[in-house]
Structure 1
Amino acid sequence: MKHINYCLMALLFSGLLSCQTASEKEAKDPEMEKAQTIYTEAIAIHDEVMPRMDEIMRLKRKLRAQKDSLSQQGADTYAARIDSIELLITKLEKADDAMMQWMRSIKQLPAELSDEEHDLQTQSDTSQNRVPVQQLIEEQEAQKEAIVEVKAMMEESIAKAKTYLQQ
């Protein structure tokens, strides 16, 4: 009887050790880790350039003040400079809008579920409701590419505005 109890205990213990929840399996899935890495890289780029939004706002205010000053001095005389300022302001606004759009549209990776939530989802899920990991990777890559473009827009518009204001 003792032998059977020990065998049952050993079997139960080994069964518990070998069981993994779906979230643990996903966390160890190299494809899911790849998606997480890409997402983390995109967020790092965002975190790098987001503080520059204040700089964009300051530059727009300075450019608008200069444009207003030139307009008061004579719009006809300074028409070319006013046009240049308006173009710079437009580029700064487009960079600002691109950042806001990126932040509104970012898709996070699915959160890890508790065992109970996973069991409920697994019972109600069909293959149509699940997002394939490859699709998650593609979405994260697209989001990363988008924030790289936003960063380039921001850096270019800031540099051009600063150069103009230093003349």
Structure 2
Amino acid sequence: MNKILELVDKYIVPFVFARNNEPLLFRELLKANKMYDDGLNLEGKIPGTRVRIGRNILVFLVIWHVILLPLSALFHRELAKIDCHLLIIAAVIFTGFFFGTYSIFKAWLVDRVSLKIIKEAWHNHYPHFAYEKHHQQVSRLYGKALDKELPAKEIQLYILDHMIEEE
């Protein structure tokens, strides 16, 4: 499974996503981290990152056919004997399944890229705090800072002070 994820990161992600090399600003990191932790859709929400829809569909079609063509070749004789009415119903079901899995694939890819960008920005802004250990704490503190309506200049200090206190 790790091999597949490495291939996705190495070939599919750069092909499907357009990115600039600018790191996220501190405020953008906090917003993206909070949205990611809250389970919200990050497509179009991370600055400098854009999904190329045509390329995403192309990659999905290739993956779909790599899976589907061997299966259809394997079960060709059984499929040829089925009544045409059942095949029409099966085609409708497979079409729905196709579009459903495309949505899942696209959301998974966006989440994967978003997490990668958030971790890169985390390393720039919080080099002394591990992402896996502190991301939920920072998300919670950022939410509190927004509720208190702190100015943008004070949010970083507020979060760092509370992170150090809680350590």
TM-score using structure 2 length: 0.28
Between the two structures, name the one with larger relative contact order (CA 8 Å, sep ≥ 6): 1
Q: Which has the larger radius of gyration?
A: 1
TM-score using structure 1 length: 0.28
Per residue, is there more helix in 1 or in 2? 1
